[in-house]
Amino acid sequence: MAKIFTFTAERMLAKAASLAAEPLVRSWGLEAKLTGLHETLSLIQDITRDAADDADAVWVEKLNDVANDADDVLEDINYEVLRHKLQIQNLLKRKVLNFISLSNPVAFRLKVAHQIKKINASLVDLKNRAPIMEPVSATSQAMGSIRETNSSIGDEIIVGRDEAASNILATLTSSEVNQENLSVMAIVGMPGLGKTTLAKLVFNKDEISTHFEEKMWIYVSYTFDVDSIQEAVVKSLREQLTEKRCLLVLDDVWNEDSEKWSKLMSCLSKLDFARGSTILVTTCNSQVATITGTLPRYDLGFLSEDECWSILKGRAFVDDTTPTYPDLEKVGREIAKKCAGLPSVAKFTLFCLKSNLL
């Protein structure tokens, strides 16, 4: 039975990685949940790969039950992705204004996020109660198989965030912050609002490079491993840290364990940061901001319909090679309205439009 799970896990790992790379899934803010599921499945796969066929039958049965639940959730996500793509294609063929499919799928996102969180907790519990020895070699590539964020802006479309960036920049470089050895500021908002993009915008400002002598970016996601974060900081900056003002971005923090955060702060405080050093956290979880923040948090708001339209028309509707349809702007503005103020949904829509129109 353990061998059967190993085969099932292989398939689910591939599916989770594939779905996490989908632009629509990222716009729903489910990538971090899928990353956590992927990592836990990888760890349990390591355990079961070397398990005897007569391993604890009850434990294996419970494991397969949870695996079936996980497979069902992955199928639900896959179905929803396909349904949205099909509706976009129908829109372009019919040139109609009904674009309900891209309204914010809050209910679906919350339901799936809750299901994955519950499944992941069950898998972690089963891992901790495993009746077999874990193999010596751990799966070190689990996180690498799913896209991580980095500080590069590249050709990302950034609309309507100049004021937010200015406000955050002012806080990070203020004289009050300079009185503290290590301050923490959180950017908070629902998935899809562009917290990571905003953090990148701030991170790459000339004023930040002038104010902070060193800066680094760490993608945290569902896993909050204090030792790994500390190791990444030390490995990246090493002796350069001593008595220098640093900016550390912890992107996509989900874990709300106050003890882990206290441990991390205790570890980082021993690295001799200069006064004015700051940690910038991006998170969907208000509780994370409450636990971590020493500076006023920044709550990121929705884009206006005009700003969503700016994202769409900038790349899809005014390109010289784009065919001209009657009332194209009218259709585009109706689409922008259905993006519900979420830049990630607007960008996903743009991705689909470009794929179908060109």
User: pLDDT tens digits, residue range 316-350?
Assistant: 555 545 554 556 778 788 888 888 888 888 887 77
Q: Which of 16-20, 29-33, 83-87, 250-254 has the highest mean pLDDT?
A: 250-254
> Distance (Å, rounded) from C-alpha 31 to C-alpha 24?
10
State the residue for tokens 């923040």.
293
State the residue for tokens 């208000």.
286
Measure Cα distances from 105 to 12, 114, 120, 273 in Å. 24, 14, 22, 43
| Cβ count near 250 (within 10 Å) | 23
State the residue for tokens 């000339």.
206
Q: What are phi and psi of 51, to 5 degrees?
A: -75, 150
C-alpha torsion sign, points 312, 316, 317, 318: positive
Q: Which of 13-27, 46-60, 83-97 has the highest mean pLDDT?
A: 13-27
Q: Any idea what the Cα angle at residue 302 is, between residues 300 and 304, rounded to 5°?
A: 140
Token readout for 321 is: 């090679």
Q: Which of 198-212, 289-303, 337-351 has the highest mean pLDDT?
A: 198-212
Give the lowest-confidence range in 6-20, 97-111, 176-190, 319-333.
97-111
Q: Report the DSSP pairing between strands 277-283 and 182-188.
A: parallel
DSSP string, 295-308: S--EE--PPPHHHH
> Distance (Å, rounded) from C-alpha 186 to C-alpha 282?
6
Q: What are phi and psi of 275, to 5 degrees?
A: -60, 145
- Of 275 and 56, the structure prediction assigns the larger pLDDT to 275
Q: Any idea what the Cα angle at residue 77 is, between residues 75 and 83, rounded to 5°?
A: 100
- Of 70 and 354, the structure prediction assigns the larger pLDDT to 70
State the residue for tokens 């350069």.
240
Does the pLDDT of residue 79 top 90, yes or no?
no
Residue ranges covered by each domain of the chain:
2-145, 162-299, 305-357
Average confidence (pLDDT) over 276-304: 90
> Distance (Å, rounded) from C-alpha 246 to C-alpha 223?
23
Average confidence (pLDDT) over 190-208: 91
Token readout for 305 is: 């319909």
Q: Which of 100-114, 126-140, 307-321, 342-356 has the highest mean pLDDT?
A: 342-356
User: pLDDT tens digits, residue range 5-49?
Assistant: 555 677 787 788 778 777 778 777 787 788 778 877 776 776 665
State the residue for tokens 């590069």.
152
DSSP tag of 317: I
Q: Does domain 162-299 have CATH number 3.40.50.300?
A: yes
